Amino acid sequence: MKSIVGIVGSARRLGNCEIFVKEVSRNINLPHELVLLRLSSFRLEPCRGCYVCLFAEERCPRKDDLYSVLEPIAQADAIIVAAPAYFLGASANLRRLTDRGLSFYAYIDKLWGKPAVAAAVAGIPGKEGATLLGVENFARMLLADLKVSRVVYGALPGEVFLDGKNRRVAAEMAAALFTPKRRAEPHRCPLCGGDTFRFLGGNRVRCMLCSNAGTVSMEEQGPHVHVEKGAHELFLSREEAEAHRQWLIGMKDRFIADKKKLKQISSDYRRDGRWVEPPADRGPEK
């Protein structure tokens, strides 16, 4: 039997994200167990940028719940993720895990190409801001094969299914999960499927999902995006993800080689400003 992990980016029990994930699961036409992760229930500390997880034991040294979250994702056959719009972006619960992404490379064999569908749940029609990009980014940084990503609206818990429209979206997502790659569409980045772009001047654009640049032209059928691969890719292919991992590992030697010069630059700033310290009685880090 397949195992499908449902990642819920909202703390609200039986809220729209949770029931949306469950509705997608209900529509999957294969026997499976739905394994649920409510990210807000786990202690996920900020990444310290120490890079230790890329070396030796390939494990993050922080003593928190990272691996309780990562293991079930790695073991799953597919991913359903839903996150709420919080202030025009995906709730930080997703980002807290994404920030620990250097630790994902130790799981590359298990994570690479895992089918995924992603939903951005917003309360106000049209006011999702960058939430969809946030859930897409989350899926891609998990090295997943994102089949479909959609925005659905619903504010009060349960409202997402007040009419039948979003149930159909959930059914569509379920149907897409175990199908081949999503087909190219002219208004999307031809490299990664993203549809959020930053204008760079003239007709130049940068895809905000894979961060590659190109051009957009207005054709009869609508906008047509052309994007070229950069010299340094993060997730477009397994080989490129692996090459990025090796590049990250190589940072250690680059740091050792330039340590003196780098230290000189940063230590010059040591005494600037006054730090506000956190309260001392917070207790030791667990």
Q: Which is nearer to ligand FMN, 30 or 88 (CB)?
A: 88
Q: What is d(CA 151, CA 83) in angstroms, rounded to the nearest whole number?
A: 10
Q: Give me the residue whose beta carbon is nearest to ligand FMN.
A: 15
Residue of 42, 51, 64, 123 that binds ligand FMN (CB under 6 A):
123
Residue of 128, 136, 195, 233 that binds ligand FMN (CB under 6 A):
128
Q: Does 152 bind ligand FMN (CB under 6 A)?
A: no
Instruction: Tell me which H or E stretch contains 140.
Output: helix 131-141
Q: Does 23 bind ligand FMN (CB under 6 A)?
A: no
* Nearest distance from C-beta of residue 38 to ligand FMN, angstroms: 10
Residue of 5, 6, 7, 16 that binds ligand FMN (CB under 6 A):
16
Q: What is d(CA 235, CA 140) in angstroms, rounded to the nearest whole number?
A: 7
Residue of 26, 127, 181, 254 that binds ligand FMN (CB under 6 A):
127
Q: Which is nearer to ligand FMN, 103 or 166 (CB)?
A: 166
Helix axes 165-177, 16-26, angle to 10 degrees: 50
Q: Which is nearer to ligand FMN, 51 or 161 (CB)?
A: 161
DSSP of 65-107 = SHHHHHHHHHH-SEEEEEEEEETTEE-HHHHHHHTTGGGGGGG
* Nearest distance from C-beta of residue 92 to ligand FMN, angstroms: 10
Q: Is 272 helix (H, G, I), strand (E, B) or coil?
A: coil
Segment 80 to 99, residues that bind ligand FMN, using CB under 6 A: 84-88
Q: Which is nearer to ligand FMN, 163 or 219 (CB)?
A: 163
Q: Which is nearer to ligand FMN, 99 or 159 (CB)?
A: 159
Q: Does 122 bind ligand FMN (CB under 6 A)?
A: yes
Secondary-structure breakdown of the chain: helix, strand, coil percentages, each rounded to the nearest 5: 35, 20, 40
* Nearest distance from C-beta of residue 111 to ligand FMN, angstroms: 25
Q: What is d(CA 63, CA 194) in angstroms, rounded to the nearest whole number?
A: 35
Instruction: Please work out the total of residues on this chain that contact ligand FMN, with binding judged by CB under 6 A.
Output: 21
Angle at alpha carbon of residue 112, lines to 107 and 116, rounded to 5°? 115
Instruction: Tell me which H or E stretch contains 252.
Output: helix 238-267
Q: Which is nearer to ligand FMN, 88 or 200 (CB)?
A: 88
Contact (CB, 8 A) for 116 and 78: yes
Give the DSSP letter of residue 213: E
* Nearest distance from C-beta of residue 226 to ligand FMN, angstroms: 32
Q: Is 56 helix (H, G, I), strand (E, B) or coil?
A: coil
Q: Does 155 bind ligand FMN (CB under 6 A)?
A: yes
Contact (CB, 8 A) for 193 and 146: yes
Site residues (vs ligand FMN, CB under 6 A): 10, 12, 15-18, 84-88, 121-124, 127-129, 154-155, 157
